[in-house]
């Protein structure tokens, strides 16, 4: 209980110091901060969007929908039990194309799922990781397709269970998602392929909600883990 209270204080102190996520990061326990090791948003099947300084989910008129794939470093071995794991994405801005006179900025209902890459190969089940510089809406890496475009949420590309669901109004400084269960699974030896972030209202046209990607110079995505 007091540990949890301490964690809250740390998070609140961090929120008060918004803009200094990297300073907050990577202290020693009981709060560990892991930087993203891979991140990309998924769009048209032939285009890899890794080089951008932002990550996007949802849909902008005239474009196909987008989803976010992100992976963090492995859970530190010093972490005994994971009490909580919170993923943070820094909101940057909401984009609208200049040729569109008005375009609303809508709340997105955001869900997050553990990526589990399992395929049936000739010699039984095989696992293929996704490659940051090659992943698209159709492929996890060059020449290898997801079970379904944008990942099948059926246990082949991603776990069907939602780790967390939050409504994100595009005014909040940070998107925070609770991925404790996935972090515990990684600690217990499941392959760390990261998580998929998408909006259940992803087909509704609105402004692009853009978050800092790890290619951005500041406020990169991070995972804050509280251990005891
Ligand atoms: C969007 O979310 C905000 C904050 O949660 C809420 O106040 C607002 O009513 C929501 N807007 C719509 C259109 O649902």
**Atom 4, ligand 1: residue with shortest CA distance:** 169
Q: Does ligand 1 lie within 6 Å of residue 61's CB atom? A: no
Are 56 and 216 spatial neighbours (Cβ–Cβ below 8 Å)? no
- pLDDT tens, 148-204? 999 999 998 999 999 999 999 999 999 999 999 999 999 999 999 999 999 999 999
For residue 37, pLDDT beyond 80: yes
Q: Which of 3-12, 108-117, 159-168, 217-226 has the lowest mean pLDDT?
A: 3-12
Centroid of ligand 1 to alpha carbon of 104 (angstroms): 13
Nearest CA among 85, 91, 92, 90 for reference residue 34: 85
Are 145 and 61 spatial neighbours (Cβ–Cβ below 8 Å)? no
- Predicted TM-score (pTM) of this structure: 0.86
C-alpha count within 13 angstroms, C-beta hemisphere, residue 221: 30
Burial (CB count <10 Å: 0-12, 13-18, 19+), residue 129:
middle
Q: Rounded to an integer, what distance in angstroms lies between the CA atom of residue 129 and that of residue 124?
A: 17
Centroid of ligand 1 to alpha carbon of 142 (angstroms): 40
Map tokens 């978050």 to a residue.
211
């Amino acid at each position: 209980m007091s540990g949890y209270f301490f964690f809250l204080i740390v998070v609140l102190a961090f929120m008060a110091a918004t803009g200094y996520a990297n300073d907050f990061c990577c202290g020693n326990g009981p709060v560990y901060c892991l930087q993203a090791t891979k991140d990309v948003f998924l769009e048209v099947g032939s285009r890899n969007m890794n080089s951008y300084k932002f990550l996007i989910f949802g849909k902008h008129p005239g474009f196909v929908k987008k989803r976010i794939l992100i992976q963090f470093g492995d859970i530190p071995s010093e972490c005994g039990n994971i009490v909580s794991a919170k993923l943070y994405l820094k909101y940057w801005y909401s984009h609208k194309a200049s040729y569109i006179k008005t375009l609303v900025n809508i709340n997105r209902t955001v869900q997050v799922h553990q990526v589990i890459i399992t395929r049936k190969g000739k010699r039984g089940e095989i696992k293929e990781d996704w490659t940051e510089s090659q992943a698209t809406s159709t492929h996890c890496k060059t020449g290898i397709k997801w079970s379904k475009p944008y990942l099948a949420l059926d246990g082949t590309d991603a776990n069907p269970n939602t780790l967390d669901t939050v409504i994100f109004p595009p005014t909040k400084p940070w998107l925070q998602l609770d991925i404790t269960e996935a972090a515990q699974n990684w600690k217990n030896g499941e392959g760390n392929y990261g998580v998929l972030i998408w909006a259940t209202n992803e087909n509704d046209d609105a402004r692009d909600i853009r978050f800092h990607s790890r290619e951005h110079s500041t406020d990169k995505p991070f995972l804050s883990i509280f251990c005891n």
